[in-house]
Structure 1
Amino acid sequence: MQDLIFHHYPNSPFSEKVRLVLGYKQLAWKSVLIPSISPKPDLLSLTGGYRKTPVLQIGADIYCDSALICDVLEHIQPEASLYPEPSKGMARTLAQWADSTLFWTAMAYNTQPKGLAQMFDQLPPEAAQAFGADRKAMFSGAARLRPADATAAYKSYLRRFSDMLDDWPFLLGEQPSIADFSTYHPLWFTRTRTPIVADILQATPAVLEWMDRMHELGHGKMEKFSASQAIEVAAAYSPAPLKDEIFQDDHGIALGSKVSICSESFGLEPTEGVLLAATRMHFTIARTDERAGLVNVHFPRIGFQLKVVD
């Protein structure tokens, strides 16, 4: 198998989700650190426009969004499973909720003034200004919770997690599932990146104990790698052959059409290319970059929009 090349940055919550999955599955991976804000020219050479974090690269195949990345890692290393029976459907549903509703609630709480100040207390003022401008552009007017509303909701969610942990070491049973990894990363940010507001966790000691168990999974075997090396790898390989999966046409867009794909909520920068696959779970488009060559870029269906490019 070709190397797993993971494009991320240390403070990224969704990157921490995947890093823990890599640890849970005891996988080796190459670490490419990317900027936390735009511009990201090296990453865009691979993705063609998608700028969110993280991204997984395997040769000339580029996988966007942590949900799809976790599916790919499950296929590569089925044990230990992220989707154990009989709660597979429940785990996926809870994970999707955690990656959206819980994440935005936690981040609205974490970025209240004193939390935001702590995030940038070791950096010059212009760093905070640049971060704020970048995220404002990413959100593109999307509504966000006020800190007071986020605080009330976050407390309720933590109490619910505590109830779920009354009888099990993990949220849905004796072993972690994708629900645990998706729930963990917003709380990880509170605990490790904005500890000045982490007292909210103290009311639910069962949640803190669960977080310790998740932390102990580790990050697998990591090796440093550069962005230029990653682009060289993409240029040296051809995309892997696509499996002969059923074409699920929900858009009236034929395979071979020139299309764009973008997130439906935030980070709306599109990636354009030729539609190669539209299965029940994901889209694949082919694109060519002057540095990376021919690459296939993969997106999950849920959370992304597919459109024809005229």
Structure 2
Amino acid sequence: MTELILHHYPESPFAEKVRLVLGHKKLAWKSVHIPAVMPKPDVVALTGGYRKTPLLQVGADVYCDTALIADVLEHVQPEPALYPAHLKGVARVFAQWADSTLFWASMTYSIQPRSMAQVFSSGEAGQAFAADRKAMRTNMTHLRLGDATSAYRSYLRRLAHMADEHDFLFGSEACVADFAAYHPLWFTRTRTPAVADILQPTPSLLEWMERVSSVGHGRFEPLDAADAVEVARRADPEPAGRNLLVDSAFQDDHGIPLGSRVTVSAESFGPEATEGELIAATRTHYSLRREDPRAGTVHVHFPRVGYVLRKAETA
């Protein structure tokens, strides 16, 4: 298998989720640091438009969204399992909640006036970040600080009830639910300590966080972003059905045949679309073939849930 290349930046909560999954699987990987805000020319060279963090690159195949990346890493290294057989459904549903509802309550609470100086190096950096994320919040309702604080407190208590019972949220071993729930709390605790007092009333949750953190990030080496793009240019993408996504049967819910020119974009956060030739539409994912002057021929993969498939507009 071609080496795993993670495109991320250290402060990204979702990147922390994947870094821990890599540690859980005891995998080796290459670390490419990318900007937190646009422009991201090396990212766009690989994805054609998608710009959220992180990305997983394997040769000329690019996997978007941590839900899909987790599936890929489960296929690469099945043990220890992210989706234990008796928890497959509940773990996935819980992770989806944690990556959305819990995440946005946490971020709104954490990035507030009391913590701004800890998150951003300057007022200008904070303004640039705020403008960048505002542009990404298409069709989203932005929580007010008071509402987010109330919700976050409730969610922390509920997670603490789970942590009271087991070493990890669903038992004695970590699974995808732990990594999905951990990363928003990690941001509060490590990036915004000025407001991390919200975690103190739940000591069992703090103990659980220590256990998750001890998983580590696996073995990694730095790689320059331009070199990662060159890796893609020199590689051939894997044919649909033979890449690191296990399902391949065509599932047509849109009346769009394979071979069509299409776009794929996120339903809400991060509306930038990727355009290409539809080469796979399975029960779990979409795959597009696209050409880039720098990266060459690449296959870009998205999860089906949370993403919108459309026919590309013709001139």
Alignment TM-score, normalising by the size of structure 2:
0.96
Confirm or deny that 1:272 pairs with 2:275: yes
Confirm or deny that 1:294 pairs with 2:297: yes
Aligned to 1:258, which of 251, 261, 266?
A: 261
1:207-218 matches, cutoff 5 A: 207-218=205-216
Structure 2: how far apart are the matches of 1:84 and 1:116? 39
Q: CA deviation at 1:115?
A: 1.9
Structure 1: how far apart are the matches of 2:256 and 2:239? 21
Q: CA deviation at 1:141?
A: 5.6
Q: CA deviation at 1:144?
A: 1.3
Give structure 2 stretches of 5+ with no counterpart: 243-247
Structure 1: how far apart are the matches of 2:114 and 2:36? 21
Deviation by residue 1:136-158 (Cα, 9 ceiling, x = unmatched) = 11113621111111111111111
- Give identity over the alignment, percent: 61
Deviation by residue 1:163-205 (Cα, 9 ceiling, x = unmatched) = 1122211111111111111000000000000010000100000
1:203 counterpart SS class = coil
Structure 1: how far apart are the matches of 2:187 and 2:29? 23
Q: CA deviation at 1:117?
A: 3.0
Counterpart in 2 of 1:59?
59
Matched to 1:306, the amino acid is L
2:276 counterpart SS class = strand
Deviation by residue 1:19-74 (Cα, 9 ceiling, x = unmatched) = 00000100000000000000000110000000000000000000000110010000
Q: CA deviation at 1:160?
A: 0.7
1:35-54 matches, cutoff 5 A: 35-54=35-54
Structure 2: how far apart are the matches of 1:295 and 1:234? 7
Alignment TM-score, normalising by the size of structure 1:
0.98
When the two structures are aligned, how many residues end up with a matched partner? 308
Counterpart in 2 of 1:166?
164
1:62 counterpart SS class = strand
Counterpart in 2 of 1:77?
77
Structure 2: how far apart are the matches of 1:73 and 1:33? 20
Structure 2: how far apart are the matches of 1:28 and 1:207? 29
Counterpart in 2 of 1:241?
239
Counterpart in 2 of 1:190?
188
Structure 2: how far apart are the matches of 1:305 and 1:95? 20
Over aligned residue pairs, what C-alpha RMSD do you find?
0.9
Structure 1: how far apart are the matches of 2:76 and 2:217? 16
Counterpart in 2 of 1:98?
98
Counterpart in 2 of 1:119?
119
Confirm or deny that 1:304 pairs with 2:307: yes
Counterpart in 1 of 2:245?
none
Query: 4+ runs of 1 displaced by more than 6 Å?
Result: none
Structure 1: how far apart are the matches of 2:139 and 2:307? 18
Structure 1: how far apart are the matches of 2:240 and 2:28? 24
Matched to 1:185, the amino acid is H
